[in-house]
Structure 1
Amino acid sequence: MIITKTPFRVSFAGGGSDMAAFYEKHGGCVLSTSINKYMYISIHPYFSPEQTLLKYSENELVSSPEKIRHSIFHQVLADMNIHGVEISSTADVPGGTGLGSSSTFTVGLLHSLFCYQGKYVSKGKLAELACEVEIEKLKSPIGKQDQYAAAHGGLNFIRFNNDGSVSVEPVMMRPETYRQLERNLMMFYTGNTRSANGILAEQKRNISSADKTQNLIRMCTLAEDMRKSLQENDLSAFGEILNAGWQMKKELASGISNPTIDEAYALALQNGAVGGKLLGAGGGGFLLFYCPQERQEDLRRALPLKQFDFRFERDGSSVVYIGDKYWD
Structure 2
Amino acid sequence: MKQEQLFRSRAPIRVDLAGGWTDVPFFAAERGGAVVNATINRYTYATLAPRADEKIEITSADFQQFLSVQNFRELEYDGNLDLIKAAISRLGIQRGMNLFVRCDAPPGSGTGSSASIGVALIGLLNLLQDNRLSAYEVARLANLLETEELHIAGGKQDQYAAAIGGFNYMEFKDPSVNVSPLHLDTSVVVELEKHLVLCYTGKSRLSGNLITRVQEAYLAGRAETVGALERMRDVAVEMKSALLKGQIGEFGRLLQANWECQKQLDASITTDQIDHLFEVAGAAGAVGGKALGAGGGGCVLFLASPDREHDVRTALEEAGVQVLDFNFEFGGLRVWNSWNGARVVD
| TM-score, scaled to structure 1 | 0.93
| Higher mean displacement: 145-154 or 49-58 | 49-58
For the residue of structure 2 that corresponds to 1:76, the secondary structure is helix
4+ residue segments displaced more than 4 Å: none
Aligned residues of 1:66 and 1:74 also touching (Cα < 8 A): no
Aligned residues of 2:197 and 2:312 also touching (Cα < 8 A): no
Shift of 1:193: 4.1
Q: Please say if 1:236 is aligned against 2:236.
A: no
Aligned residues of 1:142 and 1:197 also touching (Cα < 8 A): no
Q: Please say if 1:189 is aligned against 2:200.
A: yes
d(CA) in 2 for partners of 1:134 and 1:191? 23
Q: Please say if 1:224 is aligned against 2:237.
A: yes
Q: 1:64 corresponds to which residue?
A: 71
For the residue of structure 2 that corresponds to 1:140, the secondary structure is coil
Q: 2:334 corresponds to which residue?
A: 318
Query: Which of residues 278, 283, 307 in structure 2 aligns to 1:294?
Result: 307
Aligned residues of 2:206 and 2:268 also touching (Cα < 8 A): no
Q: Report the residue type matching 1:146 in the other structure.
A: D
Q: Please say if 1:20 is aligned against 2:32.
A: no
Aligned residues of 1:140 and 1:197 also touching (Cα < 8 A): no
Q: Report the residue type matching 2:234 in the other structure.
A: T
d(CA) in 2 for partners of 1:179 and 1:188? 19
Query: 5 Å matches for 1:1-328?
Result: 1-46=6-51, 49-56=53-60, 57=63, 58-68=65-75, 69=78, 70-82=81-93, 83-161=95-173, 163-194=174-205, 197-208=208-219, 209-303=222-316, 304=319, 305-323=321-339
- Classify 1:36/1:321 alpha carbon distance in 2 versus 1 (closer, same or farther; 3 Å): farther
**Which deviations, in whole Å up to 9, do the C-alpha atoms of 1:169-197 show, x marking residues without a partner?**
11133211122122211101113344673
- Classify 1:205/1:102 alpha carbon distance in 2 versus 1 (closer, same or farther; 3 Å): farther
d(CA) in 1 for partners of 2:204 and 2:263? 18
d(CA) in 1 for partners of 2:206 and 2:129? 33
Cα root mean square deviation, aligned: 1.7
- Classify 1:113/1:242 alpha carbon distance in 2 versus 1 (closer, same or farther; 3 Å): same
Q: Report the residue type matching 1:204 in the other structure.
A: Q
d(CA) in 2 for partners of 1:24 and 1:67? 37
| Higher mean displacement: 51-60 or 186-195 | 186-195
d(CA) in 2 for partners of 1:107 and 1:101? 10
Identity among equivalent positions (%) equals: 33
For the residue of structure 1 that corresponds to 2:168, the secondary structure is strand
For the residue of structure 2 that corresponds to 1:15, the secondary structure is coil
For the residue of structure 2 that corresponds to 1:274, the secondary structure is strand
Aligned residues of 2:23 and 2:155 also touching (Cα < 8 A): yes
Number of corresponding residues = 322
d(CA) in 2 for partners of 1:227 and 1:211? 24
d(CA) in 2 for partners of 1:258 and 1:195? 10
d(CA) in 1 for partners of 2:306 and 2:336? 34
Aligned residues of 1:277 and 1:287 also touching (Cα < 8 A): yes
Long gaps (5+) in structure 1? none
Long gaps (5+) in structure 2? 1-5, 341-346
d(CA) in 2 for partners of 1:311 and 1:254? 32
Q: Report the residue type matching 2:66 in the other structure.
A: N
For the residue of structure 1 that corresponds to 2:268, the secondary structure is coil
d(CA) in 2 for partners of 1:309 and 1:323? 32
